[in-house]
Every structure is written in structure tokens, then in C-alpha cells.
Amino acid sequence: MDLQSIKNRFGIIGNSPALNHALNTAVQVAATDLTVLIVGESGVGKEVFSQIIHSLSSRKHNSFIAVNCGAIPEGTIDSELFGHEKGSFTGAVDSRKGYFETVSGGTIFMDEIGEMPIGTQARLLRVLETGEFIRVGSSKVQKTDVRVIAATNRELIEFTQKGRFREDLYYRLSTVPIRVPSLRDRKEDILLLFRKFVVDFAERYKTTPVQLDEEAKQMLINYPWPGNVRELKNIAEQISVLSTNSHVNANEMRIFLPEKRENRFPVLAGQSTATGEFANEREILYKLFFDMKKDVTELKKMFVEILQNPSLASSAANFTKESILNDFGALSDNGTNALTTPSNIPAGSSVNHHQATLLPAHAVNSQPVILNNNDIQQHEEIEESLNIIDKEKELIVKALKKHKGKRKDASLDLGISERTLYRKLKEYDIDE
């Protein structure tokens, strides 16, 4: 049977090279009993390929059954596939045959195989390797002759690396892999499929088939189609039923095509998709802390340059002493400058008055700092604590002091709700 006859028989529309390659592979493997793994996105028509393989095989006169592994609860999937004995679990009032027993001699199509529980995967592997299985609640080994065709819209090789899918089962299933192309990878087939769908719907609803202008056709071709052929069929039906004109232009097409939902760019800290106040608070605090750390590092470098080159100090003298000291928290409790006292400057250093004023307290008092003739012989940066709980508590205390204990104003300044602020006051045991 040639490829076009198969397309006509199973209602396959399209002539893209990727689609033809997948069909040729299905035709070639159909005459064998090899296990086949069909890979493709949701909506590309993977089940049609399983029907093609079964219909062209020597098992075509025997049973064919499609099983959605993701739709069967984990607690009953073993019973569904392999059967169970009476009384083997609560509700097992009678013995029951499973699919591998009733379809012996035929074909089982196992869709969404990646959703199968690990325990069931071990049972399936034994069936594929030896043709043997055991009913739930039984110790009797039974034989079966079933061809398995599996399908998935996931990358199973990644699941094996994460421990969610058995590696030995993956290689046993993918004896012959068939990758069904997505609709955006076969753009030359989009208009053919759309035309077929609108003609079918026009016959069903007794209407005139809609036609598209050139701009509307380009919109249809360039749309990413995350739902693939299934989504295209839905759009064709909507246009056939809801369109007021038989000729659809680009403006009318925009009404039916949803906005593009694909976003492959990294998410910025301020654009998180996480929900809840806690996630937003964490992101704001992390960004604030790292920005503070970056600023402090740059300021340390600036102070070192001033110490190495005293002439830079004169240009910095334009800043008021109070603004500089307030920024770096270098004022003592009584409001006096803690940096201008001689005791804060190491003996033997040649730091002048301006340099002492510009140095933050922790930079002057930190050890070891040895100054000789304005040359720094040794300098060690002391890493500040970035513990998020300590920083969060510190910010809350500062906000409350700034707003004189008014929780509402403090919460607005912090970017959190008043309820969250109240909870954190209790959590950190902060006195207002």
C-alpha cells in the first residue's frame, strides 16, 4: 500500500517531509512485532499512527485497545492492566481479567506512558521481556502475546535522569522510535488542514465554507499552534460557526486566534510568576540585599582610591559630612561623628581630616589596615552578613522607626501588607 492510500484511509492531510518520514517508518515497522515508541506533542495525532501500525500488521484481525496511562488512578492501574483475584483488595468482589489477558494476540496502545507509576513500570518491563504477568493478589504466572505501542508527549530520557522513569524500560520501549512533527514544524500543511476542516464543518452546519484573504492566511501560518492539529480544528469550527462573512480578513482572524502565549525569555526578578505575598517579599528582599552588597563593594573601592591618592579627597569635600555619615550609619548614639576622634585612626597613619571624615566606621576600625605614607600595604575586606532573616528584621525595625511605629505606613514602605508585617513582628519578637 502506497503512502497516499494510507493517508486517504486514515484521513491524514499533509505532505511535509517530516510527516512522510514518520508515516514511512510506521509502515515499515508494522509487519514486525517490534515495540514502538511514538513521540510528539499533544494534539499531533499519535493514536492515528498506532492504528496504522496495527491495521497493517499480522494482528489486524485481533483486538486493539487504547489505554491512557495518565487517566487511570495509581491504585488501580495494576488491576486494569494485569487483572486481579477476588478479595485481593477492598472492592474486589470478583476475579477480573486485565487488558494484557483479554487482548492477547492483539495490540495495546499505551498513551501517556510517562505518567505510569514506577511499580507498574517494573511489571510492564517483565511483560515486554518474557511475556509473563501475575494478577494482583495471585501467585500464578500467566502468559500473554501482546504487541505494545507506547506514546508520550514528554522527553522520557529526561525522566530517566530524574528517576521518574525506568531507564531499562525506556530502551525496551523505544526499539523503534517514531517522532510525529508538531504543526508549526509542517507549516506547508496548515492551510490544507484548515481547508479540509472548514469544508467538513460547512457540510455539517449547512453553511458556505469560509475563505481567507492573504493576510489572514499568513496569520494562520505564523501562529505557533501549541495545541497542534486539535487546536487548528477548533479554530476552524469557531470560524465556520461564528463568522458573519464567508470571506475572513486579518482583523476578523485576530478575534479567533488567541494571543501568543509562548515566552522563551528568562523571567526577571520583578516579573515572577510565583503567587502569594511570601514569594513577592522574598524576591524584593533578595534584590535589595544584593543591590546593597554591590553598592557597599563599590564604595569600599572608592575609599581605598582616596587613601591611595589624597588629592581625590578635596573633590569629595563638597559633600556634607552629615549626609555621608548618615548614609553609612557612622553617627554615634549622641549624634557626634565617631570618625573624627583621633582614637579611631591607627597610630602612625597619615590620614588627614577629610579622609577620616569620609571613611565609614567599620573601614577605619577594621583590622588589619596599615597606612604608611598614603600607601596601603595590606587590606582585607570583611564580608557582611547576608542572612535573610537578620536583614529582614533589620529592615522592619528601620521602617518602624522611620514612620514612628505606624504599621500601615511601614508596611507600605516595605512593600508588604499590614497583615504580613504584623505576622513578622510576632515571628521576630520585635517591640513596636
Domain check: are 173 and 122 in the same one? yes
Query: What is the rounded distance in angstroms from the CA atom of residue 36 to the CA atom of residue 178?
Result: 7
**Confidence band (pLDDT; 50, 70, 90) for 342?**
very low
Query: What is the rounded distance in angstroms from the CA atom of residue 28 to the CA atom of residue 159?
Result: 28
Domain check: are 158 and 38 in the same one? yes
Domain check: are 311 and 366 in the same one? yes
Helix extents (H) in 71-205 = 77-82, 99-102, 118-130, 156-161, 167-173, 190-205
* pLDDT over 60 (residue 109): yes
What are the φ and ψ backbone dihedral angles of 406, each rounded to 5 degrees? -80, 110
Helix extents (H) in 162-213 = 167-173, 190-205
**Confidence band (pLDDT; 50, 70, 90) for 417?**
confident
Domain check: are 24 and 167 in the same one? yes
Amino acid occupying residue 118: I
Cβ-based neighbour number of residue 332 at 10 Å? 12
Cβ-based neighbour number of residue 322 at 10 Å? 11
Domain check: are 127 and 200 in the same one? no
Domain check: are 175 and 190 in the same one? no
Domain check: are 209 and 249 in the same one? yes
The answer to whether position 286 is within a domain reads no
Query: What is the rounded distance in angstroms from the CA atom of residue 76 to the CA atom of residue 144?
Result: 20
Q: What's the pLDDT tens digit per position in 189-209?
A: 999 999 999 999 999 999 899
What are the φ and ψ backbone dihedral angles of 39, each rounded to 5 degrees? -115, 135
Residues paired with residue 64 on neighbouring β-strands, in sequence order: 107
Per-residue burial over 184-217, b = 16 or more CB atoms within 10 Å of its CB, e = otherwise = bbbeebbeebbbebbeebeeeeeeeebebeeebb
Containing H/E element for 376?
strand 375-378
Domain check: are 57 and 141 in the same one? yes
* pLDDT over 60 (residue 70): yes
Query: What is the rounded distance in angstroms from the CA atom of residue 89 to the CA atom of residue 271?
Result: 49
Domain check: are 149 and 227 in the same one? no
| Residues shown for the chain | 432
The answer to whether position 261 is within a domain reads no
- Cα end-to-end distance, the chain, whole Å: 84
Look at the block and give the residue holding cell 464567508.
246
The answer to whether the beta carbons of residues 205 and 241 sit under 8 Å apart is yes
Q: What's the pLDDT tens digit per position in 214-262?
A: 999 999 999 999 999 999 999 999 999 998 888 999 998 999 988 754 4
User: Which residues does 206 contact at the CB level (< 8 Å), separation at least 6?
Assistant: none
The answer to whether position 273 is within a domain reads no
346: domain range?
Answer: 303-378
CATH of the domain at 237: 1.10.8.60
Domain check: are 36 and 149 in the same one? yes
Domain check: are 89 and 145 in the same one? yes
CATH of the domain at 103: 3.40.50.300
What's the whole-model pTM score? 0.59
CA atoms within 13 A on the CB side of 415: 14
Three-state secondary-structure class, residue 110: strand
User: For the chain, what is the domain count?
Assistant: 4
Look at the block and give the residue holding cell 540585599.
289
Of 181, 202, 233, the one marking the end of a domain is 181
Of 264 and 86, more confident = 86
Cβ-based neighbour number of residue 397 at 10 Å? 16
Cβ-based neighbour number of residue 62 at 10 Å? 16
Of 196, 231, 256, the one marking the end of a domain is 256
